[in-house]
Every structure is written in structure tokens, then in C-alpha cells.
Amino acid sequence: MAPLIDIRNVSKTYVTGTFRVEALKEVSIRINAGELVALVGPSGSGKSTLLHIMGFLDRPDAGEYFFAGHPTASLGEGRLAAIRSRMVGFIFQSFHLLKRTSAKDNVMLPMVYTGLGTNSQKALDCLKLVGLADRVKHRSNELSGGQCQRVAIARALVNDPLVVMADEPTGNLDAVSRQEVMQVIRDLNARGLTVVIVTHDDEISAMTHRVVRLKDGAIVSDETRVPETAVAAAAANLPPARMSFSPSEFLEQLKVAFKAIWSHKMRSCLTILGIFIGVGAIISLMTISEGFMKSLLSGSSEDDAKKVWVTPAWEHGRTPRRFVMGDVEAIKAQAPLAEKVTPILARDLKISAGDKHISSGVQSREGFDLAEQKPRDKFFENRKMTGRFFTKEENLAKARVAVLNRTLAKKLFESGGALNEEIRINGISFTVVGVAEDQKAEQIFGGRPTAYIPLNTAAKRVFGANRLDYIEVTAPTPADAPEARRQIIMALRAQRGTREGAEDDFDVKTFEAQIEMFKSTMGKLSLVVYSIAGISLLVGGIGIMNIMLVSVTERTREIGLRKALGARNMDILSQFLIEAVVLCVIGGALGVGLGFGLGWAAYFFIKVPPTLSTGTISFAFGFSTLIGVGFGFWPALRAAMLDPIEALRYE
Ligand code: ADP
């Protein structure tokens, strides 16, 4: 049967700039299963290079390597990772234990990369085998050097390897620990384990059965001290490459990600700041505008949707032509869908009460129809009132009665008791008969002080002109509003004698058009906020990439170790991707909180409760994940592509 390790004419040359080092020159060596072999020689003689090639951490430039009878030259990265994972155990001079991690978790690490699930009992058995049953929960920084190395030996054993490769395993230990560790290795060998040790310590090599001496990249002697007693032949199939991810690996990766983030709290916080602010800005805008839409639509009844407003055209840059009662009559006569036509007079005037003078809007209304028990226009129907609205009769009698909105009432009479008080509009005294709650829109945009007085009173007594400011028309149903609008335009053009093709000197808007206008204003505002948020997210993403690159560099040796224990490139890639995504998702989650918080802060100014929909939340998380993957990919790829032995040697 074939020897376990059969190396034939293997060469390895390192090129550094113009400098070439032939680390191995056509070396051939066979090692059988069950042997305990020491590779010795002066520093730089090629011992480590040979060991790394034997352990599949490095590939030869030339020559052949048969492992357990199989040629290995054409094996891909995945197969090599599988062999490292399940057939080879490594022990290093500097232990390479994971920091701040318990002995047991360190020993369990190689199981993550087998894809066969983890088994903590097996880890405990291995720790017992190296005499550390009582140190299971100790962390690497709570163990002595000798104990650390014994943990590393247990870790090398946990996947039942065919061979253990040890690179100067006692190099960092004191004399007592050296003896202990060597005794453990000899015991394991006595149980049938094949061990290859690189050492320059004669005392150590004296404890092995076979000493292979190297010099300048070549084997100069090979002595077997003890007759080959139990030289078992090796026969094993090489494991296939692992194709999938196991749940235990995913859990381990999540654990590692959280640990890495947690152990650099400050750094992580600063890193996610950009994502936090970017997502926060987007979410606050989304919640506020969604809240706006919701409250606008809920605050507007079907009556609003039926309304059509006729206003002077302001945009032509000249004094707008105001409406006269003739226009109202024309609409009434020629627009059949104009069910209710309400002329409105409005001015900005000073209103006084006692020594208080408030400049306010004064609007006129036709008044309450006592017969119908309803206001003549629907303006006040949905509004809470204290007191009453003025009547149709008061309108006809040009009575000096007024209804104030809440904002004006508060400004004039701080105590709030405005009812039956006297006020002066334009020097003419009025009696306050009612106070109306602010309209929904006033509540949203901040109420403007407004007084409502009868139309006739306004026209004849206050404004001194019967020119109307605008006309409110109500269509029979919301669906009729656009047609009513068309009819009103026709009627007004005819009434005013507008020539064919000439522009209208008035505007007619439906409720729907108002909502559309609001939406488009909102859209423009969103564009600004989204671009700011976009820049913040971009900066945040670059921050993530930057910190991930730092993290990869800091953990280069850990990456090397994981690869030596059988991690595939994919395992490393996904580990760093997961870390980037976890960072971003934390930033995103906090950002959602910030956005919602800002939404509530805005509530105090605009009185619209923010709305957080599941769509918004999933958008935030989807977006954060995307940023994590997008900006984490390059650092993760750099980590995945690291050469295992280069990574292990990284200082
Ligand atoms: P030993 O383990 O016997 O001390 P090594 O196998 O580590 O020797 O190294 C053999 C030779 O190859 C040395 O001269 C060393 O400088 C060189 N060498 C090893 N690794 C590298 C590398 N990654 N790049 C360049 N030269 C290297």
C-alpha cells in the first residue's frame, strides 16, 4: 500500500524583486502512517516550506505530491480546503488561538468548516486527551503558553486527521512546558497518529523516531532511530469539496461578526454613522410625507372632493381681474353641474379688540340657512364650533356679526373667551358669535388668524367694493368635478368675452388638482432630501468599506488560521460579507428609529403624526443590506483571496 505522504522531486522558489531563493530543490521524501518525524536543519534550510507543502497550505512549483496514494497537483481550492479540514491538523509556534475565546470554542472551530455540524462532546474529549479537562471554559488569555499549545493540539485533533503537522510547536515555550507538549505529542503518536514536527531543537528531535535533516533546500540525512514497528499503510479516499453552507457555519459567522463589532464598539458606531443618518433622513421624509397624505385624505371628505375653486389668475404678472356678482350669475346660469356657487370676499385687515391689533384675513360667507339647518356653504359643516355661525337673515340684514377661527380668537383674547366680545374690523365694531376650530390644512400648515363675516356686510360695510376674491363651486359628485370645471371655464369665457385662443384670466382648480399639486411639491422636496440621503449613504458605504479593509488587515492571521483549519475562500468571503451586512443593518435599524423620531419631532410643528409602514421598514432593511453587500464585497474578496501561509505569516 501507498505511503501517507509521498513527495517526489518537489521544488519551491521564492522571488522577491530580483532576488530568487530556492527554498526547496528537488526534494523527495516518503512518510508512512504512524510515523513521528522531525524535520531539522538550520534556519532558512526549507523545513517550514516543506511542511506547508505537505499540509496543503502551499503548492510546489515543480514535482509531484501523492497524499494517501492520490496525486494532488490538479486538486482545486475547494478540495484542498476539504483535505485541510478533515485530514490534516496544524500546530503553530505561536498557537494562533482566537483571542477572547474559550478553550472549548477554539477547539470546536475546525468543525465549523467540515459541513458535518459541530459536536461539543468531541471537543471536550480532545481537551481531555491533552490534559486540559479542567480548563474548558478558560479563554486563551487566561492560559499559560504550554496550555495554549495543548489547546491548539486538541484543535488539530478534533476532526480525526490522518496527520498532524507541527511547526516549531515548542519554540515559544519554557523547558517544563516543552516537555509537557512533547509528551502529549508522543502519546498521540503512540495511539497511531502520524506527526511531522519542524524543529531546530535537538532535544525535541531526540524525542522522535525519525530525523530528516535539511540544508539549503535539500535533504542531507534521514535517520530512523527506532525500527519501524507499527508502520501502517495508508488507504483513504480524499474528501470531496464541500459545496454548501451549514447552519452551524452561518451561526458561527454571525457570532464572529457580532463579536468583531462588539469588540470595537466606538469604531463600529462611527462606521455606521453615515448609514444611520442616510437611512434616518429617508425614513423621516417617508414617514412625514406618508403621514401628510394620510391626514390630508382623511381630513378631506367627499364634500371637498366635489369642490371646484375659481380664482383670479395670479401668474400673469398683472393685477388680477377680480370676479363680480355677474360672474357668479353666469356660472349659476350656464354651468349645470355647478350645484352650489358661493362667492367669497376676502381681505387682509387689522382686527382689534381692546388694545390688541392683529392683522388677519377677513373672509365673507353667505350665512346659515335656518330653514335647511345647514350653513349655506359646506365650509363650516365639518368644523367644530363654539357658539354659532351667522344666519342667512343676518347676511341679508348686513349684520355686524363675526366668527373667528381658533388662531385669531387666541391672539385677541388670551383667556379664550371670545364669545359675545366686541371686535373692530377696519374700525367697524362686530360681535363675535362663534369660534371655529382651525381647518385641517390650517392645523397642518399653521393657522392664519381669520375672521368670517356675512357677505353682504363685507361688500357694503367693510370692504367698500363688491368685487369678489374667489368663487367656490360644488359639483353633485366628486366624479362630476372635472366636467363642472370645464363648464365653468366655458361660462366665464363667454361672460368675459374672452376671444378664441386667448388665455383665461382666471384659474379653475378641482380638489384632485390641488392634491396633485401637493404631491408634486412633495416630490420636489423629496428629491432634495433623497439626494442628501444618497450622499450620506454613499459616504456611509465608503466608511463601511474602509473599516472592513482595516478589519481584514487586522485579522489577516485569523484568516490564515481559518484557512489552515479548512475554510474555503467562500467561507471567508461570506464571513466578511455577513459582518458588513450586520454593520449596515444595525445602522439601518437605528436609522429607522431616528427617522421615526424625527417624524414625531416634526409632529410638534406640523401636527401630522408620522406613519411607519412595513414598506418603509423593508425598504430600509433591503437598502442597508444592499449597501453592506455592495461596499463589503471588495474587502471580503480581498480577505478570501489571501494566501493561507502568507496570511499566517503576516506580522
Ligand atoms: P526554515 O523553516 O528552514 O527556516 P523556510 O522554509 O521558512 O526555512 O524558508 C526557506 C527559504 O525560503 C528561506 O531562505 C526564506 O527566506 C525563504 N522564504 C520562505 N518563505 C518565503 C516567502 N514567502 N517569500 C520569500 N522568501 C521566502
Of ligand 1's listed atoms, the one at least distance from the Cα of 52 is 6
CA of 554 to the centre of ligand 1 (A): 23
Distance CA 52, CA 77 (A): 15
Buried b (16+ CB within 10 A) or exposed e, 610-628: bbbeeebbebbbebbbebb
CB of 50 closer than 8 Å to CB of 24: yes
Question: Could you tell me the pLDDT band of residue 287, with boundaries at 50, 70 and 90?
Answer: confident
Reported confidence tier of residue 476, pLDDT bands at 50, 70, 90: confident
Cα of 22 vs centre of ligand 1, distance in Å, is 9
Provide residues with CB under 6 Å of ligand 1.
14, 16, 21, 23, 41, 43-49
Q: Cα–Cα distance between 408 and 415 in angstroms, integer?
A: 12
Query: How many angstroms separate the CA atoms of 251 and 151, rounded?
Result: 22
Instruction: Give the CA distances from residue 490 to residues 308, 326, 483, in Å, rounded to whole numbers and listed in that order.
Output: 14, 15, 11
Q: List, for residues 481-520, the tens digit of each pLDDT value.
A: 888 899 988 888 888 888 877 778 888 888 877 778 777 8
What single-letter DSSP state applies at residue 502?
A: P
Residue 291 in contact with residue 609, Cβ under 8 Å? Answer: yes
Please tell me the predicted confidence (pLDDT) of residue 300: 57
Q: Which of 48, 220, 651 to mutate to test the pocket of ligand 1 (most atoms within 8 A of CB)?
A: 48
> Cα separation of 341 and 503, whole Å?
23
- Residue 557 near residue 639, CB atoms below 8 Å: no
Domain boundaries, given as residue ranges, for the chain: 5-241, 258-298+516-649, 302-510
Average pLDDT value for residue range 260-267: 90
pLDDT of the residue at 328: 85
468 pairs with which residues across the strands? 323
- 392 or 96, which is more confident: 96
Q: Give the ligand 1 atom nearest the CA of 41.
A: 3
Q: How far apart are CA 424 and CA 357, in angstroms?
A: 9
Burial 557-580 (b: 16+ CB within 10 A, else e): bbbbbbbbbbbbbbbbbbbbbbbb
Instruction: Look up residue 230 and give its DSSP letter.
Output: S
| Residues 6+ away with beta carbon under 8 Å from 26 | 9, 10, 11, 62, 63, 218
Gap from CA of 64 to ligand 1 centroid (Å): 20
Q: Are 331 and 493 in contact (CB under 8 A)?
A: no
Q: How far is CA 432 from CA 365, 416, 443, in A?
A: 15, 12, 22
CATH number of 5-241: 3.40.50.300
Length of the chain: 651
Q: Measured in whole angstroms, how far is the alpha carbon of residue 68 from the centre of its chain?
A: 48
pLDDT in tens, 319-348: 777 788 788 888 888 888 888 888 887 888
Locate 238 and state its grid cell. Answer: 480524499
Atom of ligand 1 nearest to the CA of 16: 25
Distance (Å, whole) CA 458 – CA 576: 74
Q: Could you write out the DSSP letters of every residue in 44-100?
A: TSSHHHHHHHHTTSS--SEEEEEETTEE-TT--HHHHHHHHHHTEEEE-TT--PPTT
**Residue 216 pLDDT more than 90?**
yes
**In which order are the strands placed within the sheet that holds 506-510?**
340-344, 470-474, 307-312, 506-510
Residue nearest to atom 26 of ligand 1 (CA): 14
Is 349:453 a contact under the CB 8 Å cutoff? no
What pLDDT shows up at residue 570?
92
Of 20, 21, 61, 220, which is best to mutate to test ligand 1, by the most ligand atoms within 8 angstroms of its C-beta?
21
Q: In the predicted model, what is the mean pLDDT of residues 540-547?
A: 90
Q: Which amino acid is at 533?
A: A
* CB-based contacts of 555-558 (< 8 A; 24+ apart in sequence): 555/260, 555/639, 556/642, 556/647, 556/650, 557/96, 557/647, 557/648, 557/650, 558/96, 558/98
The C-alpha atoms of residue 180 and residue 185 are separated, in whole angstroms, by 9
Residues 77-89 pLDDT 10s? 999 999 999 999 9
Residue located nearest, by CA, to atom 13 of ligand 1: 44
Helix (H) / strand (E) containing 507:
strand 506-510
pLDDT band at residue 408 using 50, 70 and 90 as cut-offs:
confident
pLDDT tens per residue across span 606-645: 667 777 778 878 888 888 889 889 999 999 999 999 998 8
Model confidence at 316: pLDDT above 70: no
Percent of the chain predicted with pLDDT > 70: 91
Q: Which of 350-354, 368-372, 582-586 has the highest mean pLDDT?
A: 582-586
Residue 436 or residue 124, greater confidence: 124
Task: Give the mean model confidence (pLDDT) for residues 554-580.
Answer: 93
Nearest CA to ligand 1 atom 12: 23
Atom of ligand 1 nearest to the CA of 49: 6
pLDDT at residue 532, rounded to an integer = 80
Convert 537-547 to b/e letters by CB count within 10 Å (16 or more is b).
beebbebbbeb
Mean pLDDT of the region 424-440 = 84
Q: What is the mean pLDDT of residues 150-161?
A: 93
- Alpha-carbon distance of 468 to 460, in angstroms, equals 12
For residue 466, pLDDT over 80 is answered with: no
As a whole number, mean pLDDT of residues 120-130 equals 92
pLDDT band at 210 (very low <50, low <70, confident <90, very high): very high
pLDDT exceeds 80 at position 464: no
End-to-end Cα spacing for the chain: 42
Using the predicted structure, report yes or no on whether residue 531 has a pLDDT greater than 80. Answer: yes
Q: For residue 313, what pLDDT is reported? A: 79
**Mean pLDDT computed over every residue of the chain:** 86
